[in-house]
């Protein structure tokens, strides 16, 4: 039997680069990967089981042809940076709902299996946190309600677009027999995540990259509204284990939504800042780890108007454990250590970039 062919739009992002590495190293699958750039997968391009197509996924007029030629589509392309949700919300909705609709439709029409990356942001805020409590309820894929803020809080454009796409995928499953699996990532971290503003990207990346920029270039780490929000941080290798199980066990993954996150790795953002500063002091080349300290900044000043935060996101991962046999293994300090070392390796000799406009 021929090994399956995977079509991976968005293959050269952080998650895609790690998934591709694993697929090429441990399976005989062929992969057609599509992305605007190949910066994060350059080391894989010589592999003859990878065909790389340089194209913007959602302006590609022939996306249906790629879907037709594969067995499974793994959809990773998205605009998932919180600093954009309230600053370019139309583009955020287009990229995360309007444009990916065609890919979903194409999978349904052509009877192809779709593994779609959504987000833990669909849950929004916790109900108890919203009412002034501690936000202790874990999120369950098939039970939890979704609590987003008002329309003026444009932070939620992304969560709302991603939620609507999930509902569309579900509807295609019910009405037209689409075979799908939906992944809800909970703050994956690891080598090659995001970028450093002014070096290989612009604007404000996610928190770990923001803190790395501060540590590498001796600037203060900034805590939005004091850093009281909580996140669980999930190591990328654990996340890839889960996706491999989804690919290999369609009988267990079909028409299911999975939280993929490590509930044991929860920190407040203030704790994350302190933990990263301490680890950086251990890992940085001698003399490099001077620290400019940790400061607080208002959300309005950091992200502009319309930003609102998720207070806490604890995943219930019992479904992934029971259906896929998946258990996240990497403890927070090991995950941070590997991530910090990779940033040091990639950027320590880069010239000091100018700080972003909001800095």
List, by residue number, the catalytic residues: 158
- Is position 119 an interface residue for ligand UGA (rule: CB under 6 A)? yes
Among 222, 232, 266, 336, indicate the residue that binds ligand UGA (CB under 6 A): 222
Q: Smaller CB distance to ligand UGA: residue 172 or 188?
A: 188
Q: Which of residues 53-112 bind ligand UGA (CB under 6 A)?
A: 80, 82
* Least distance (Å) between residue 82 CB and ligand UGA: 4
DSSP characters over 294-348:
EEEE-HHHHH-TT-------PBP-HHHHHHH-------HHHHHHHHHHHHHHHHT
286: tokens are 């001698």
# residues near ligand UGA by CB under 6 A: 22
50-54/30-35 β-pairing? parallel
CB 222 to ligand UGA: min, Å: 5
Structure-block tokens of residue 323: 């259906």
| Stretch of 28-36, 126-134, 140-148, 216-224 contacting ligand UGA, by CB under 6 A | 216-224
Q: What is the CA radius of gyration of the chain?
A: 20
Q: Whole-number minimum distance, CB 117 to ligand UGA, in Å?
A: 9
Task: Please state, in angstroms and rounded to a whole number, the distance separating the CA atoms of residues 297 and 221.
Answer: 10
For position 232 contacting ligand UGA by CB under 6 A, the verdict is no
Provide the minimum distance between the beta carbon of 207 and ligand UGA in the complex, in angstroms, as a whole number: 3
Of residues 129 and 227, the one with the C-beta less far from ligand UGA: 227
Q: Does 188 bind ligand UGA (CB under 6 A)?
A: yes
Q: Which of 10, 180, 33, 164 is nearest to 108 (CA)?
A: 180
Q: Residue 74's beta-bridge partner residues?
A: 115
Question: What's the CA gap between 162 and 174, in Å, rounded?
Answer: 19
The residue (of 260 and 344) whose beta carbon lies closer to ligand UGA is 260
**CA distance between the termini of the chain:** 56
What is the secondary structure of 124-182 as a DSSP string?
A: BS-HHHHTTS---PPB-TTT---B---TT-TTHHHHHHHHHHHHHHHHHHHHH---EEE
Q: Are strands 294-297 and 221-224 parallel, antiparallel or unpaired?
A: parallel
Among the listed ranges 27-35, 50-58, 98-106, 205-213, the one in contact with ligand UGA (CB under 6 A) is 205-213
- Indicate which single residue of 121, 166, 266, 316 sits in contact with ligand UGA (rule: CB under 6 A): 121
Taking CB under 6 A as the criterion, the residue among 210, 332, 335, 336 binding ligand UGA is 210
Binding site for ligand UGA (CB under 6 A): 80, 82, 119-121, 158, 185-188, 206-207, 210, 222-224, 227, 229, 231, 269, 309-310
């Amino acid at each position: 039997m021929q090994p399956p062919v995977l079509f991976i739009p968005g293959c050269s992002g952080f998650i895609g680069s790690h998934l591709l590495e694993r697929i090429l190293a441990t399976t005989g699958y062929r992969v057609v990967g599509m992305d605007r750039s190949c910066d994060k997968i350059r080391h894989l391009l010589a592999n003859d089981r990878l065909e790389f197509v340089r194209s913007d996924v959602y302006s590609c007029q022939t996306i249906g042809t790629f879907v037709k030629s594969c067995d499974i589509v793994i959809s990773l392309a998205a605009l998932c940076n919180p600093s954009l949700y309230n600053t370019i919300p139309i583009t955020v909705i287009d990229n995360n709902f309007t444009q990916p609709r065609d890919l979903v439709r194409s999978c349904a029409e052509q009877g192809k299996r779709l593994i779609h990356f959504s987000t833990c942001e669909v849950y929004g805020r916790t109900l108890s946190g919203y009412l002034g409590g501690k936000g202790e309820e874990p999120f369950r894929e098939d039970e939890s309600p979704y609590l987003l803020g008002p329309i003026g809080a444009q932070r939620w454009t992304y969560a709302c677009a991603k939620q609507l796409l999930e509902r569309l995928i579900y509807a295609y499953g019910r009405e037209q027999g689409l075979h799908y699996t939906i992944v809800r990532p909970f703050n994956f971290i690891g080598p090659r995540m995001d970028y450093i503003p002014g070096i290989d990207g612009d604007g404000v990346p996610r928190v770990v990259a923001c803190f790395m920029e501060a540590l590498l270039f001796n600037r203060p780490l900034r805590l939005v509204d004091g850093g009281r929000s909580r996140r669980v941080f999930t190591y990328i290798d654990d996340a890839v284990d889960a996706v491999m199980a989804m690919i290999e066990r369609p009988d267990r993954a079909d028409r299911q939504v999975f939280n993929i996150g490590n509930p044991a790795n929860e920190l407040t953002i203030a704790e994350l800042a302190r933990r990263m500063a301490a680890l950086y002091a251990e890992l940085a080349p001698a003399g490099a780890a001077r620290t400019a300290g940790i400061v607080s900044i208002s959300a309005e000043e950091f992200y502009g108007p319309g930003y609102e935060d998720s207070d806490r996101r604890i995943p219930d991962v019992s479904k992934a454990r029971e259906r896929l046999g998946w258990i996240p293994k990497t403890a927070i300090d090991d995950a941070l250590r590997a991530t910090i070392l990779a940033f040091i390796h990639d950027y320590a000799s880069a010239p000091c970039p100018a700080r972003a406009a909001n800095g």
